[in-house]
Chains A and B, each alone.
Chain A
Amino acid sequence: MYSALQSALDPALVALFSALVLGCAGIPGLFLRKPGTGQIISVTATLLAALAGVPAALQLLFSNTTTTYLLQWNLPFGPCELVIDPLSAFFLIPVFLVSAAGSLFAVGYWPAVEHPATERGLTFFYGLLASSMAILLTARNGVFFIMVWEIMALSAYFLLVTEHEREEVRRAGIVYLIATHIGTAALFVYFSLLAAQSGSFQLPAAGSLSALSPFAAIMVLAAFTGFGAKAGIMPFHTWLPSAHANAPSHVSALMSGVMLKMGLYGIFRTLTFFHDPPLLWGAVLTACGITSALLGIVFAVAQRDMKRLLACSSIENIGIITTGLGVALLGVSSHNNTLVYLGMAGALLHILNHSFFKPLLFLGSGVIIHASGTREMNLMGGLGKAMPRVAALFLVGTVAICGIPPLNGFISEFLLYLGFFKQLKGHSLTALVFLAPLLALVGGLAVVAFTKLYSSVFLGTPRSSAAAHPHEAGMTMLVPMAFFALLCLLIGIAPQQALRLVSPAITAWYPLLLSTSVAAEYETVLGRLSLAALLLLSAAVVVALLWRWRLGKMAVSSASTWGCGYQRGTARMQYNGTSFSELAVSVFDGIMRQRIERPGLTGLFPGGSRCSDRPTETLLERIITPLFAGTGMLFGFLHRLQHGLMHFYMLYIFATLFILMLWAN
């Protein structure tokens, strides 16, 4: 009896079962006629699954064991193993946390009563997306991996086009679909080569492949293309802003907070297969990473759509993570354990951090859109007074994502900086230290982007009538946000504990590194950092109390803002988002441009005119769009094959099969 209970409580089994529950959570709703019941069932199931799944994942992470299950299937692709090792367990944590929080948020954000037509599908695919990501992390058979990968990609597509009556949404959906399938095509190449190399579709054991074989480079390139397209690393980022901007907000939270990380997981996992990777791999990853970080944040600064800004900042954060991974890989190639540890710790911790603050901000943006009815930052303003709780929680996310102390974003960047600076003492790879000023520039630009976001939404006075009558969000929307804000604060104040969470995953990624010995050193450093954070908070409290004391003694009155003598200031005269970022963007003129069409003023009494701005990516406009247009023309003849006549399509299938049969014989 006891042993049966124990085996039932095996954390790996619990995690797998929770993953299945996530996927099934939306199914009852599909068959219930009355709207709302299905949503409640789904939320309850998702929350319970997360309550079981997160402790199970933590247990698997800390116990440092690898659990294997064999899935019985009758497909000719070899045995299908489900394996949870600490690396998978680490990635499972955000999957459970973010999907549960988003599902609770949806009750207030996308209530079934108000959206009877779309809610069922949304809830179902949301569960399916979360579940497929959790199972993907355990898949160790190439074919099974691609199947789950496709379920993930397609359910994300159906979530994305929830509001398909809008032209913009359909367009974003198509772009996403094309991008994700280019990625999948690359993954087909990757997994076929892998199977050719190792003899079965079973993913190879850690360190079992040589990185020097001629196939290895092609394989890694295919994997990097396929997984990078999902993660949004720089040359493959073009689908990301429109997709994240047009999805419902809790879906954006799940996509940005977790789904992008699945691409990164693929890269992490792929790299474990090879021993002795050449320096070039790490160098390419690092270069792509820092480029993504820098350009992503430049794009973000120029945006005027709130959710596009958040999406562009995802490119930046993914870039930071990739930089960390690249640096760690350089460490592996040059047998530098400190570099491996710090790069990896920075990357993994940033994955965790980004999956806390980005969903917080995306959920916040959902509340804001609910309240103001627009995504346009230039039309908002002054929302902080009507929704103080949302404003406070959003501020936590804003400070965290800028990577400034005392919140969690700073910690992961701190570890990366430490890694760069440590190189100064060594003799090889000293040039890595030049990444530090670049990362500092990224941090500075992030402050510009998020000051713009926060201030144009919450501060000042409303710039349009839509933003003038907002209302505070309900509890189901506030609780998930507060949860993420708390996690951001906790990691910021007790970073040494977060490092403990990351260490087993690092060992799983690079078994030669006994991270316990290296970890102790950085736990003390982070301990100091946590004291400094507490000192900072107490300094702020002391200054605030002193000020309160002076304020209590003197007269306090209120008046309108000082207009430098001008008496008739209006809300439209405020600096808005576009005007705030204009100067900063002008510095990066060649990469990103805010095209501002200014009103033409002629004569003594100019008539009515309009002023508009459009952020344009030079690279996208000059190279990528013409490239795709050209490809489209080139493949135009294929249209003739696609005529909608069913019997011809069946003939194609028959002909293909016939030719294949001949070829096989």
Chain B
Amino acid sequence: MTNSLIHIFLALTMPPLLLGVIGKTKAAFAGRVGAPFLQPYYDLSRLLQKGTVFSTTTSWVFRAGPIVALATTAVAALLIPFGAHPSPISFDGDMILYAYLFALGRFFTMAAALDTGSSFEGMGSAREATYSCLAEPTLFFALITLSRLSGSLSLSPMLVNISLGVWLDTGAALLLLIGGMFIVLLVENCRIPFDDPNTHLELTMIHEVMVLDHSGPAFGIIQYAAALKLFVLGAFFVHLALPYATGNPLLDWGLFVISMLELAVVIGIVESVMARLRLIRIPQLLVAATILAAFSTLLVIR
């Protein structure tokens, strides 16, 4: 029970901090002081205080976009285990629900973008649709590998199972998986080198251009949902890359928080040292990620 409460508490409060850490890391690389760690929280509370402008072309679908995006990500957050602690909700096949929840959120985000009738937002959703559809098989290959390693059909045992011992046994498969999943993590969360949340030109954006017309609290919901998605997918990735566990519940929570912050720093570093890819390169890299994950599946299945 306590663990479930901590799980929900962390899922509710921690996501924006990751964005703060990423920002700070990038600032450090650029030799700037950077915005404070808590800046994303200030941004969110400011957005919640603002008024809203709705485009006259939009219908209720536009308003449903942010709501569904946040609701789906929140439910997904309940399915994923944080650190060594199992998730509050867990049943056979929950990993399939986990994967498809994002599809639901994406459907409504894209529909909301297209509801504005803006060609820029249409451009963003066309890209989002293609890239996320190519990222889908990678996630499933990862799930297959993990399911095979743990002999389980549920996310919690699948991910908590990974330990140093498993790494020693099947290091090659896990290494390939980390490569594939890191690409998926960056694509799904619209980070450099696939998308730049801070670019100044609408033509080159993917996710940010889809939400151009949202304002005030709705935009706050979107920002928060995006942070939560990074957190949820990040928690998945952290299990693969940093599978530490001590056995002490409190210590494990601490370890989880630290690993998530480490991940944010790594993403910050990647964003600082890489340039954004040309859009036509992105599908190629996504297929490459799928093949990496497929290799890992082959290694564990043979």
Q: List chain A positions with a Cβ less than 8 A from chain B.
A: 381-382, 384-385, 388, 391, 395, 399, 402-405, 410, 414, 417-418, 421-422, 424-425, 430-431, 433-434, 436-438, 440-441, 443-445, 447-448, 450-451, 454-456, 458-461, 525, 528-529, 532, 535-536, 539-540, 542-544, 547, 550-551, 554-564, 569, 571, 573-575, 579-584, 587
Contact = CB atoms under 8 A, between A and B. Distances in A.
B191 interface: no
Contact of A461 (B57, B89, B218): B57
A445 B106 CA distance: 13
Interface string B209-223: 000110011100100
B54 interface: yes
A422 B153 contact: yes
B75 A559 contact: no
16 contacts: A404-B100, A414-B96, A421-B147, A431-B301, A433-B301, A437-B141, A440-B137, A455-B115, A459-B115, A461-B117, A554-B49, A554-B51, A558-B53, A563-B118, A574-B122, A575-B121
B221 A547 contact: yes
A69 B297 CA distance: 53
Question: Which range contains the number of B residues in contact with the other chain?
Answer: 35 or more
Interface stretch (B65-73, B166-174, B244-252): B65-73
Contact of B51 (A410, A425, A555, A573): A555
Interface stretch (B2-10, B127-135, B182-190, B256-264): B127-135
B181 interface: no
A394 to B, nearest CB: 11
A540 B69 CA distance: 9
Contact of B114 (A421, A438, A551, A575): A575
Given A459-B111, A584-B130, A558 B137 contact: no
A342 to B, nearest CB: 10
In terms of DSSP, what is the predominant structure of the interface of chain B? helix
A228 B122 CA distance: 38
Given A424-B148, A458-B59, 15 more contacts: A395-B61, A404-B103, A405-B97, A422-B153, A451-B110, A459-B59, A459-B115, A528-B94, A529-B91, A536-B72, A536-B75, A544-B67, A554-B216, A557-B52, A562-B116
Given A424-B148, A440-B139, A459-B115, A561 B55 contact: yes
Contacts of A575: 114, 119, 121-123, 125-126
A410 B153 CA distance: 17
A569 B70 CA distance: 31
Interface string B84-106: 00000101111011011101101
A410 B74 contact: no
B57 A460 contact: yes
A539 B127 contact: no
Nearest to A459: B115
Given A410-B100, A455-B110, A444 B136 contact: yes
A385 B59 contact: yes
B18 interface: no
B137 A441 contact: yes
B140 A451 contact: no
A556 B91 contact: no
B144 interface: yes
A437 B96 CA distance: 11
A444 B122 contact: no
B144 A436 contact: yes
A544 B217 CA distance: 11
B36 interface: no
A556 B54 contact: yes
B144 to A, nearest CB: 5
A384 B61 contact: yes
Which 4 A-B residue pairs are closest in the complex by CB-CB distance? Answer: A575-B122, A444-B133, A555-B51, A455-B114
